Structure 1
Amino acid sequence: MPTPDNNLAHDSFAYEDEPNKLAHYVSQELDLPMFKASSASIHRIESPRQFYGLLKKKIIQAKRRIFLATLYVGKEERELAYFLCRALARNPALQLTLLMDAMRATRESPKSVSSASLLSHLATMFPDQVDIRLYSTPLLRPGSFKSRLLGKRFNEGFGLQHMKIYGFDDDIIMSGANLSRDYFTRRKDRYILIHQHAPLADYLHSLILLISRFSYAVHYSGDTDVLNHCKKKIEELDDFSSELTDVYKSPFRLTWDGGRDLLLTEDADGTIVPSGLFPPSNQYPVRNWASQAHKDLLEFTERWKQRCQKMEHHHFEKADTCIVPLLQMGQLNISQETEMIPYLSKFIEALRLRPSKSPQAVARPFTTVDITSGYFTLSSIYRSLVLSDRLHQKGTSSGQIPVAFRLVAASPEANGFFGSRGITNRIPAAYTYMESQFWTEVVEKKLNRPIDTAMQDLQDPVSTGPISAVELREWRKYGWTYHSKGLWISPPSRRNDLCLPSSTLIGSSNYGARSEKFDLECSLLITTHAPALRKLFATEVTDMREDARDLMNEEAFRAQDRKVDIVTRWLTQLVKYMM
């Protein structure tokens, strides 16, 4: 892993007004593509219902392409399947690329409708328009003896396609949300829309196509007469018609073509074209393809870095925002997100040093770093960031600015596994156990103590006292579950009541060991000096903390209802790297 130059904290970063230095720094040091953007093109989607409504609107409005990467599509999402089918029937020029996880998308089959059975008909109904691919970890193949031995729920612990990318022409929605009913109604998540950014859309579409090359193709195996009837009558049917109900329950099969039969590909300048124009130079074997995937992902990253450098002076002249995509694919030996953390730490450290050239006083003399995950289990590198001695050490200089880490996790009741059957019923308690272990480290380092008894955050909707170096809260809202994930950096401000994040991470990563080592993840590092976009990020943080009123401390973890039995503790230690 690259090591940041220690001098960068003093020489390369401006104190408050140049947050885009972080994106430039990460891109340069890790050889990653960086896209410039206008802050006016970036919007927040505020609720699950708005997210679902926008998805349907974008599907119908798409003219050229829809590209979707998700863990799964809910088996009950007949309306979403219907909208995709109708959009494809209405527009023969529309191309759909859909990437899901093989284990999760086939979990309910063959006894019930699954993601694969719900959508497989699209590839057969529109053979020149649709690619549906299911990624399976190199450790397990679908239907193999090992996967059957482990069982459908447990084999998901060995790695998933976890990216959440929803693209429509040149618009992108980045999120942590899957495409199922809970995520459209009562599960708190994040969604950022980036409007009309063709280069970033091409990058993300190309990424999905690359992963699709070493994924399984999904084929419909049901009654083709019923399928042809549905295609002819699609405008007259609704999503609960008996004909479509039969289609959604139909059998399917998975085949491996090594990427040979994909309809689309990335051309020489990065745009997406029919694959016949730029056929792939190699096909992936059904086994032992991980090393080739690693090589192709490195070449993909280098190719896009060079393209971004060429387009830097020709696009987005009014750009005030920078975007660096970060891939984390541990089983394919790609670790851009975790390699970014030392540079993020160096940037935060730089914010502690108030430069002498700054003539104005600092009214809000601390940096806040907000981190949230619905499944709280910080990996070792994120834990080292939060507990860093270097970031928390008290300096002798009067100009040194402290750092406050504010963490938000799901309460047991807001955990998506709360009340589930079988062994998964223990998962909320397992996360409580991991939270308590983390908090023990915080207390041992004395980071739970106030930074300064007089230092408060007047903008925080839940805090009533002095800020501490590390704070942990739990999110709770009646009838809701919590799935948000994100990181925001708010530098010191010259106004005591103004907390405006200048940088954020948005994407699929939960910042845990599983995200680091097993799953396919994609996040965007977004930095900006635009006041409007910084206010949008601030609203995200405030809305999140409004329902994070449960302050966790030693007393909270000692409460009778938070005690974790010995069996759950033992099981957690056994599988914590897969959670």
Structure 2
Amino acid sequence: MNRKKLLDAARGVVNGSVGARKKDSPDRVSDAATQSRSLRCFPLQQQHVEEAFTTSTPGQFHSLLCEKIRKAKTRVSLASLYVGPAASPTATPREQDFLDALEIAAAKPQVQVNLILDKNRALRPVPLSADANAATTSSAQAVFVALTAGGNHGDKNNNLAPEAGANNLFLASVLSPSMQYILPNPFNEVAGVFHMKAYLIDDELIISGANLSEEYFVDRHDRYLHFTKGGAGLVDFYHELIQILCDHADVYSGENSSVTPNNMRQPTTKTQFVQALNEFLTIPKENDTDEPQDDFMNNNSKSKTVAVVVPTFQAPESFFSGSTTQRGFPDDIEVTRSLLECALEQQKLQDKNSTSETVVRLSSAYLNPTDNLLKVLAEFSHIEFLTAGRTSHGFAPKKKAGNKGKDWIPTVFETLSRDACQHLEAAKLLYYERPGWTFHAKGLWLEEGKMTHGAKTSVVAAICGSGNYGARSETLDVESNCVLIIPSGSPLQQPLKQEWTNMLEYTSEPPLSSIGAGKADSTSGKRVKEGNSEAPLSWPLQVCLPILRKFL
């Protein structure tokens, strides 16, 4: 498969691909704005990915993150949904370890520590004990205490205003001001969250789907892509992206102070914010060069490119509301679709005698593919979906307060995942079922090769990041992914393929005639029995399913 064409498609270099609106696609951005600029990319060499896949378990992720933060020399920039507040240090020791590491880094005068979290999730009250009248803390307060305990800008009880260059906690809200005011928790989180995950310390970067709480440090299966030695500029890219997002976010100054927009700082407007993103995420096409593409063909060079990374950014239109400037960059949804369409075009153009086929493997903790994605996937002859089974679902009921009534959520996702497979004749559905563990890994693997028995396929492109490829990621949440274009013979092909293989150890392929596989009646639209299966949802959920699908 031609990697140059895949890279061009992912970056939006080719007019009529990324950024060109289709009649069946959302009206996301003007053609002229996007087609005049292409996304930035970063050609990686072996030195940048030597530790890319050495972290593969939650425990390793926790140890790596805490160690790097404790030893930070210049900067710590972290973007996540939330941080575990260690409300009960004995029950959540790893959350406390993480907060302690932040405190150590914040105490160093030469190290700047900045975190950006989702506003509503970070301010959600967390009881300090099981007592009904127990006092509460929050993710934001726990982080604030850690950042100020070192004395960099005041003690933890004074709630002093942040200073330029000091350690700060920023809170980003995806919602419009009116929705932010109207919706109570947790409905404000349902309407959209800051879901991006990027963890940067000095010249190293971890791109993941994992948040920063106890379960993500212990028994929640996720992915971790670790770039070192600056990642050919990728590390600085994410540091600057986080800074732009922080410039537009609110500053948290302690639980005794109100959270006000850009508190005590020069405020930015939405127009300035969108302009900054447009200029930062892309480059004018007239200034673009073929240098990254040429590196693909330089197989004999000692500085051979092992992958080219295209970082993406995704946000709902409400995130840009109030701006007089249009979003001028292709977002993650457009990039993913363009990449798949490019692979399809190449498959159709190959020699009729060729036995090579294209395989799409997609993993999502909460599988709910959108109609736009399903329409592209329907053209492929080999598709595999991997998602959380009922045992390992993130919303499976847990034996603690506050989780009652959530058992319907895994059932809904089970129905949605099976519906997706019934739309795709070539799709295989796999459920991750591991007792005591939950599943949170997300990503896409694009492979080519022979699908005959015993034959092998090789990875030509992969995506890693925070997106779940569902309606939430497309229309409600802020996301960031890294698209990797992998040249033939790259040392990254095998570990990327091994990621998928390792997940298969705990998977099973359910029969589509089992619970959840009832088909929709053509006249009533209601789901009915198929064979010996039972309708998976109660009638209220069946009626609400089209609405629920937009928020899952």
TM-score range, shorter chain: 0.7 to 0.9
- Contact 1:35–1:308, Cα closer than 8 Å, also in 2: no
- Contact 1:351–1:491, Cα closer than 8 Å, also in 2: no
Select the residue among 169, 176, 198 that pairs with 1:139: 176
State the 1:82 CA deviation.
Answer: 0.9
State the 1:562 CA deviation.
Answer: 7.2
Summarize the Cα distance change of 1:57–1:382 in structure 2 as closer, same or farther, 3 Å threshold: same
Percent identity, aligned pairs only, is 25
State the 1:355 CA deviation.
Answer: 4.5
Does 2:302 align with 1:297? no
Does 2:551 align with 1:578? yes
Select the residue among 111, 123, 130 that pairs with 1:106: 123
Tell me the secondary structure at the aligned position of residue 516 of structure 1. helix
Select the residue among 64, 75, 78 that pairs with 2:85: 75
State the 1:252 CA deviation.
Answer: 5.3
Summarize the Cα distance change of 1:316–1:172 in structure 2 as closer, same or farther, 3 Å threshold: farther
Q: Please name the residue that 1:41 is paired with.
A: 48
Distance 1:161 1:98 in 2: 12
Aligned pairs (5 A) from 1:169-208: 169-196=202-229, 197=231, 199-208=233-242
Aligned pairs (5 A) from 1:47-86: 47-76=57-86, 77-86=95-104
Q: Deviations over 1:345-396 (max 9, x none)?
A: 333224425755x9xx96x7322110010101112221112223xx4xxxxx
Does 2:534 align with 1:508? no
State the 1:570 CA deviation.
Answer: 2.9
Summarize the Cα distance change of 1:216–1:208 in structure 2 as closer, same or farther, 3 Å threshold: same
- Contact 1:95–1:129, Cα closer than 8 Å, also in 2: yes
Distance 1:370 1:38 in 2: 25
Distance 1:105 1:304 in 2: 37
Does 2:377 align with 1:340? no
State the 1:185 CA deviation.
Answer: 0.7
Summarize the Cα distance change of 1:539–1:547 in structure 2 as closer, same or farther, 3 Å threshold: same
Q: Please name the residue that 2:493 is paired with.
A: 534
State the 1:324 CA deviation.
Answer: 0.4
State the 1:220 CA deviation.
Answer: 2.6
Does 2:309 align with 1:323? yes
Q: Please name the residue that 1:214 is paired with.
A: 248
Tell me the secondary structure at the aligned position of residue 76 of structure 2. strand
Task: Read off the aligned partner of 1:119 and give its amino acid letter.
Answer: V
Q: Deviations over 1:62-100 (max 9, x none)?
A: 2111110000001222221111111232x3111111010
- Contact 2:445–2:461, Cα closer than 8 Å, also in 1: yes
Does 2:396 align with 1:471? no
State the 1:556 CA deviation.
Answer: 4.8
Distance 2:507 2:515 in 1: 14
Instruction: Indicate the structure with greater helix content.
Output: 1
Task: Read off the aligned partner of 2:78 and give its amino acid letter.
Answer: L
Aligned pairs (5 A) from 1:15-414: 15=1, 18-27=2-11, 28-29=13-14, 30=18, 31-42=38-49, 43-44=52-53, 45-76=55-86, 77-89=95-107, 91-108=108-125, 111-124=135-148, 125-127=151-153, 128-140=165-177, 144=181, 146-147=182-183, 151-196=184-229, 197=231, 199-220=233-254, 251=256, 253-257=258-262, 261=265, 283-284=267-268, 289=270, 291-302=271-282, 317-331=303-317, 332=319, 336-353=331-348, 355=350, 365-388=356-379, 391=380, 403-414=381-392
Aligned pairs, number? 462
Q: Please name the residue that 1:436 is paired with.
A: 418
Task: Read off the aligned partner of 2:10 and give its amino acid letter.
Answer: V
State the 1:54 CA deviation.
Answer: 0.5
- Contact 1:32–1:305, Cα closer than 8 Å, also in 2: no
Task: Read off the aligned partner of 2:547 and give its amino acid letter.
Answer: L
State the 1:203 CA deviation.
Answer: 1.0
- Contact 1:378–1:512, Cα closer than 8 Å, also in 2: yes
Distance 1:411 1:164 in 2: 24
State the 1:142 CA deviation.
Answer: 9.2
Distance 2:218 2:357 in 1: 37
Summarize the Cα distance change of 1:308–1:56 in structure 2 as closer, same or farther, 3 Å threshold: farther
Q: Gaps spanning 5+ residues in structure 1: where?
A: 1-14, 222-250, 262-281, 392-402, 448-468
Distance 1:121 1:306 in 2: 48
Distance 2:348 2:96 in 1: 55
Distance 2:115 2:374 in 1: 34
State the 1:141 CA deviation.
Answer: 6.5
- Contact 1:432–1:562, Cα closer than 8 Å, also in 2: no
- Contact 2:466–2:481, Cα closer than 8 Å, also in 1: yes
TM-score by length of 2: 0.77
Q: CA RMSD in A?
A: 3.0
Summarize the Cα distance change of 1:303–1:426 in structure 2 as closer, same or farther, 3 Å threshold: same
State the 1:317 CA deviation.
Answer: 4.5
Summarize the Cα distance change of 1:504–1:220 in structure 2 as closer, same or farther, 3 Å threshold: same
Larger deviation: 176-185 or 102-111?
102-111
TM-score by length of 1: 0.73
Q: Please name the residue that 1:465 is paired with.
A: none
Q: Gaps spanning 5+ residues in structure 2: where?
A: 19-37, 87-94, 128-134, 154-164, 296-300, 321-326, 518-531
Task: Read off the aligned partner of 1:126 and give its amino acid letter.
Answer: N
State the 1:326 CA deviation.
Answer: 1.2
- Contact 2:316–2:477, Cα closer than 8 Å, also in 1: yes
State the 1:138 CA deviation.
Answer: 3.4
Q: Deviations over 1:301-340 (max 9, x none)?
A: 2359899859969999432310001111122465511212
Larger deviation: 103-112 or 80-89?
103-112
Distance 1:152 1:307 in 2: 46
Summarize the Cα distance change of 1:103–1:508 in structure 2 as closer, same or farther, 3 Å threshold: same
Task: Read off the aligned partner of 1:62 and give its amino acid letter.
Answer: A
Tell me the secondary structure at the aligned position of residue 189 of structure 2. helix
Q: Deviations over 1:451-498 (max 9, x none)?
A: xxxxxxxxxxxxxxxxxx211111111111111100001112599532
Tell me the secondary structure at the aligned position of residue 369 of structure 2. coil
- Contact 2:74–2:202, Cα closer than 8 Å, also in 1: yes
Summarize the Cα distance change of 1:560–1:162 in structure 2 as closer, same or farther, 3 Å threshold: same
- Contact 2:59–2:217, Cα closer than 8 Å, also in 1: yes
Distance 1:540 1:205 in 2: 27
Tell me the secondary structure at the aligned position of residue 532 of structure 1. coil
Q: Deviations over 1:212-257 (max 9, x none)?
A: 1221101135xxxxxxxxxxxxxxxxxxxxxxxxxxxxx5542322
Q: Deviations over 1:20-65 (max 9, x none)?
A: 5412332223511011111452211211111111001111222111
State the 1:101 CA deviation.
Answer: 0.2
Q: Deviations over 1:123-174 (max 9, x none)?
A: 5432343121000123246972x03xxx311110121110000011111100
Tell me the secondary structure at the aligned position of residue 554 of structure 1. coil
- Contact 2:40–2:282, Cα closer than 8 Å, also in 1: yes
Task: Read off the aligned partner of 2:273 and give its amino acid letter.
Answer: A
